[in-house]
Structure 1
Amino acid sequence: MDRKERLKQVMIDEAETIRKVAERVDYNVMSQITELLCQVKKNSKKVILAGCGTAGQAAKRIAHTLSVVEIPAFFLSPADSIHGGLGAMQQGDILILLSKSGNTQEILNYIPAAQKKGLTVIGVTENENSKLGQAVDIVLKIKIDREPDKWGIISSASTLASISAFDAIAFTAMEETGYTKEEFYLIHTGGGVGDILRKEL
């Protein structure tokens, strides 16, 4: 396979992975998560996300998207969490932990404090029988057939699938909470999006 064909194949593989996950994912679980997130702002609570490595980058992206649709959210670094950062977690908040294997120790470290403080803990993993899957309140299973790199192990398509699932959750919650363009413009005056909103409003 020449270079151009390989480049195209990776993109096709990633797109196909998201399509397959869309067929397999448990929409009852996604609906349950959506309902919880719809209540966050109304109840003056927040969403805290965490992950390591590539999962951490996905967690940051999801936190940003939730904030964009007025669901207060932020990423809490695993390194900072065990040095006092867990103090940001308060009763009634929602904690979303991403770990492909479900056995990442830095992510499991959040659970004891979260449970004692009375948070709802959501685990995003491919293995519902993992330590994470067994410890959390809600498991969103995101499992793929194979990553598109030559070894099939570098988290990439699986990460995109997790992000896609939470895009679906965030945009559904945005509609259900009645989020308006006027509210969006209040927090997004910059860039091309700000220019579009300014013209429309």
Structure 2
Amino acid sequence: MNDLDVIRRVLIAERDALSRLVDAIPDQVGELLDLLDGLAGRLIVVGLGKSGIAGRKVAATFNSTGVAAVYLHPSEALHGDLGIVSSDDIALCISHSGETDEVLSLIPHFERLGVTTVSITSRRESTLARRTHQALVVPHTGEADGWNLIPTCSTMVVLAICDALAISHLERRGFTADQFAGFHPGGSLGRKSLLRVRDLMLTEDAVPLIDYSTPLSTAIETMSSGGLGCILSRSEKDSQWSIFTDGDLRRLIASSVNLTDKTIGQVATANPKSIEAQELAAKALHLMEENRIMVLVVTEEGKNSGILHMHHVLRAGLA
């Protein structure tokens, strides 16, 4: 079997594992979401080996959505780290087999501390499922390797159900993009979550704006010197802006229209696409890509106040 065949086999196995999960979502997910709604402390995620690595990611996902979560290594917990646990917490214990000794050894201590326990396992009859307050039983899947030994499909299923729980919980709470941004101030996520149109726009003083009666030839010269590939026009009586782009110019030339007797107001496009200044710049980028345009008019309180060019967004690193 060649390399591509192996890669394809692994991906198909993991896809099929997720499909089985979709068809067998544990009935207890609603009850767990109710528990999370009433969480007064932290979500304590416990797992060992690959389940522990998955648990670290689960804790990180919940943290990013505003739910205080921490990964607790089972062995370290028995040597002092149980001190982070309180009766207000929920312990989420992950074990594919439900028989991981190190995880099971924590259950009596969680009980002693008055902690609500939830397990994720693939075996309903397992010791872990029987000893926790709630058990999310996910489909038992074989692994993707030829020996059925390497945790692959099983960890994929755990990550997927926990992602689904985190997203479902944030939607229950009405978690907003602004709140998400507050937890992701750095890097690409931070830029996408925090940068607003008003942070990148050209204000009216820097906008190439001319009177609608300006001869087209003059307007073209102004547009060419501006470096934005567009020019805007308005009349003294009408506060609305119209836009004329270098693409519009190319189309006019191709149509053999006589340009010498035209004004910018006669050829500019009225009611151009616009966006409010307080919107996320990422939303503006999506709007430009969706409409295949390079410029948006920016409005504030219903009035035109500037423009946003695709280049401004790209330079900010949002693409």
* Equivalent position of 1:65 in the other structure: 61
Partner of 1:37: 36
Unaligned 5+ segments in structure 1 are: none
Identity %: 27
CA deviation profile, 1:84-112 (whole Å, cap 9, x unmatched): 11121111210011111111110011111
More strand by share: 2
Match of 2:190 in 1: 194
Structure 2 counterpart SS, 1:148:
coil
CA RMSD of aligned residues (A): 1.3
Residue in 2 that maps onto 1:161:
157
**What is the distance in 2 between the residues matched to 1:63 and 1:69?**
10
Do the aligned residues in 1 keep the contact of 2:13 with 2:144 (CA within 8 Å)?
Answer: yes
Amino acid at match of 1:17: A
Of structures 1 and 2, the larger Rg is shown by 2
- Post-superposition offset of 1:190: 1.1
Larger RCO, structure (CA 8 Å, separation 6 or more) = 1
Unaligned runs of at least 5 residues, structure 2: 196-279, 282-319
What is the alpha-carbon distance in structure 2 between the residues aligned to residue 60 and residue 114 of structure 1? 19
Distance 1:15 1:144 in 2: 14
Using the TM superposition, give the Cα deviation of residue 189 of structure 1 relative to its aligned residue in structure 2, in angstroms. 0.8
Runs ≥4 residues deviating over 4 A: none
SS in 2 for 1:49: strand
* Alignment correspondent of 1:48: 44
* Count of matched residue pairs: 197
Q: Which residue of 2 aligns with 1:145?
A: 141
1:171 matches 2:167: yes
**Is the 2:91–2:117 contact (alpha carbons within 8 Å) kept by the matching residues of 1?**
yes
Pairwise CA distance, 1:156:
0.9
Partner of 2:28, secondary structure, is helix
1:118-145, Cα deviation, whole Å (9 max, x unpaired): 1110011111212111110001112333
- Structure with the largest fraction of helix: 1
In the alignment, what sits opposite 1:109? 105
Alignment correspondent of 2:120: 124
